[in-house]
Amino acid sequence: MPDILIAPSILSADFAKLGEEVCAIDEAGADWIHIDVMDGHFVPNLTIGPAVVKALRPHTQKPFDVHLMISPVDPFLDAFAESGADIITVHPEAGPHLHRTIQRVKSLGKKAGVSLNPATPAKALDYVLEEIDLVLVMSVNPGFGGQKFIASQLRKIEAIASRITKENLDVRLEVDGGIDPATAPQAISAGADVLVAGTAAFRDGPASYAANIEALRGHR
Ligand code: DX5
Ligand code: ZN
């Protein structure tokens, strides 16, 4: 089994001091920095754009795991690639040609991810799973931090994990939404190997970040 990676979502960081927050969560042991990009159209919330990603880039060497919740997504791929994203994840509903979008991300030299909303079936990965580097299973409806984990997504994680194993693919399986020390072991048992956490990673301020991350890894 691959190592479990922790990808704190800066959606739950203090936006007034985002650079410091990214440094603090890096030093606390984050493996990736998860960046939630929302457009007020694909999801009912607005967050940050490529200028902010670019401004954060000098603050850490950790991979930027950029989760695009924007539609149409294609016009923004180049800007996020240039801003310093390492992994660019899109939703199948965010454009007319998922396969083309993935090819574009890869041609920009970035790792490509596909994210599935809670009601989007694993079948949406047919014909693209072998092309991508990451599957991101949403365990809440995207748009906001602090929501409750949707347990039905564990079955989806299991199904995708077994497909990745059976087809012997080099694909990371990430889960996003409502991950805390109680739900993290469930997601890991189902086969997730990257855990996104906003609320649980950034709770109680910078002095707690290292302990928060360790609790998600299951060591406390
Ligand atoms: C939701 C975002 C998540 C969110 C997770 O649309 O994709 O990354 O920040 O937040 P928590 O961990 O608080 O559920
Ligand atoms: Zn996310």
- Express each pLDDT in 146-177 by its tens digit: 999 999 999 999 999 999 999 999 999 999 99
pTM reported for the whole predicted model: 0.98
146 lines ligand 1 (CB under 6 A): yes
67 lines ligand 1 (CB under 6 A): yes
Spell out the residues 6+ positions from residue 46 whose beta carbon is closer than 8 angstroms to its own: 38, 39, 40
141 lines ligand 1 (CB under 6 A): no
Q: Which residues surround ligand 2, an ion (CB under 5 A)?
A: 36, 67, 176
User: Which residue's CA lies nearest to atom 6 of ligand 1?
Assistant: 142
- Express each pLDDT in 31-65 by its tens digit: 999 999 999 999 999 999 999 999 999 999 999 99
Binding residue per annotation — 219?
A: no
What is the pLDDT confidence band of residue 145, given thresholds at 50, 70 and 90?
Answer: very high
Our mutation pick for probing the ligand 1 site, out of 196, 203, 209, 212, counting the most ligand atoms within 8 A of Cβ, is 196
Q: Is the pLDDT of residue 1 over 60?
A: no
What is the pLDDT confidence band of residue 83, given thresholds at 50, 70 and 90?
Answer: very high
212 lines ligand 1 (CB under 6 A): no
Q: Which residues are catalytic?
A: 36, 176
Closest-approaching ligand to the CA atom of 66: 2
Atom nearest to 197 CA in ligand 1 = 12
**Buried b vs exposed e over 194-219: b needs ≥16 C-beta within 10 Å?**
bbbbbbbbbeeebeebeebbebbbee
- Express each pLDDT in 64-80 by its tens digit: 999 999 999 999 999 99
Q: Is the pLDDT of residue 144 over 80?
A: yes
Q: How many helices (H) and strands (E) does the chain have?
A: 8, 8
pLDDT of residue 112: 99
Q: Is the pLDDT of residue 2 over 90?
A: no
Comparing CA positions, the residue from 5, 129, 127 lying closest to residue 65 is 5
Q: Is the pLDDT of residue 140 over 90?
A: yes
Query: Where do the domains of the chain lie?
Result: 5-217
Q: Is the pLDDT of residue 220 over 90?
A: no
pLDDT of residue 219: 72
CATH number of the 5-217 domain: 3.20.20.70
- Express each pLDDT in 18-39 by its tens digit: 999 999 999 999 999 999 999 9
Spell out the residues 6+ positions from residue 171 whose beta carbon is closer than 8 angstroms to its own: 129, 132, 133, 134, 135, 164
- Express each pLDDT in 184-206 by its tens digit: 999 999 999 999 999 999 999 99
- Express each pLDDT in 89-127 by its tens digit: 999 999 999 999 999 999 999 999 999 999 999 999 999
